[in-house]
Structure 1
Amino acid sequence: MTASPADLQADPQTELQIDRPSVTDGAALWRIARDSKALDLNSSYSYLLWCRDFAATSAVARDGRGEPVGFVTGYVRPDRPHTLLVWQVAVDASHRGRGLAGTLLDGLVARTAAEHRITSVETTITPGNTASERLFAAFAERHGATVEREVLFDTRLFPDGPHDPEVLYRIGPLTP
């Protein structure tokens, strides 16, 4: 899939391009997630499917060579069609510390708000993931939104060994 000019967004701070992911980006997104050492790593197959089936509600940042250096994956909740659930946010180590995650998140939410009338964002964060906590708190502040938190999935629900609880962050209503 080739992104249309309307999908491309230049980030003047970093001179990166932000657009929708394509299936050919799946392997790079998997590597960025793996190398983050902070995310639950899904199968490489799931990243390929994500780039195919949820490209409209996801974003990828590309360097000057067109290589992915960061991403945000998300989807519109079927039972809450004005809510974007952000699944994962990751930035390659060589591009961290420049505000790229926030730029990706803002761009994705702006695009999905225009296309799907999104008024709120949800995500889950494990306790102690201060980078994600800061990212989403700053996002809420930039958008004049409140943040509500509650445990969505308790530790005992995870069948594959010890896992921290996943705390649901509800952010909204969003203002432009």
Structure 2
Amino acid sequence: MQAQKRRREALDLIALWGDAAGQAELGDPGAGEGTSAANVSMLPLSSPSQRLVQIRRPKKCTCDEMFSELMQSFRTERAQQNAWRQKMAEFRKAENEREERRWEQEQRRWEQEERWQQRVGRRQDEMLRLMQEQTDLLRRLVELQERQQEQSLYNHPPSSPSSISSSP
């Protein structure tokens, strides 16, 4: 695609040189001055084919001049291409830096979430341990109460209805 564009530009340059040369070389032999391509049709003794040949007559320039002009065109295009590449490289670098910052932020969020989960897990473990201790404590209290009731029954047998009535 770029090769075709360069070819078109080169042909355009050559056509421009040809038009400029043709316009400069056209002239009234008697007057000794140049005429433009628009004024070629005004020449009295020229046929249409002669006018066309005069308009299309290539500029007589050296190959070195044409080569220098083409090389300058390619240098300009290459400079523009390099500037574009530089901008794209800068854009990619900036995009990579943004992506890296996003990744670091996500990583920090994951680490914070993980620390939070660890805290929650430790709290839950502490709560379970505390509840287990309380359950053990309640079980011991219940056992102690039962023993005390057994001992009170053992030390003080239940009174019979007859003993209740005989008491003063």
Give your verdict on TM over 0.5: no
Bigger proportion of residues as strand = 1
Bigger proportion of residues as helix = 2
TM-score normalized by the length of structure 2? 0.19
Of the two, which has the highest radius of gyration? 2
TM-score normalized by the length of structure 1? 0.18
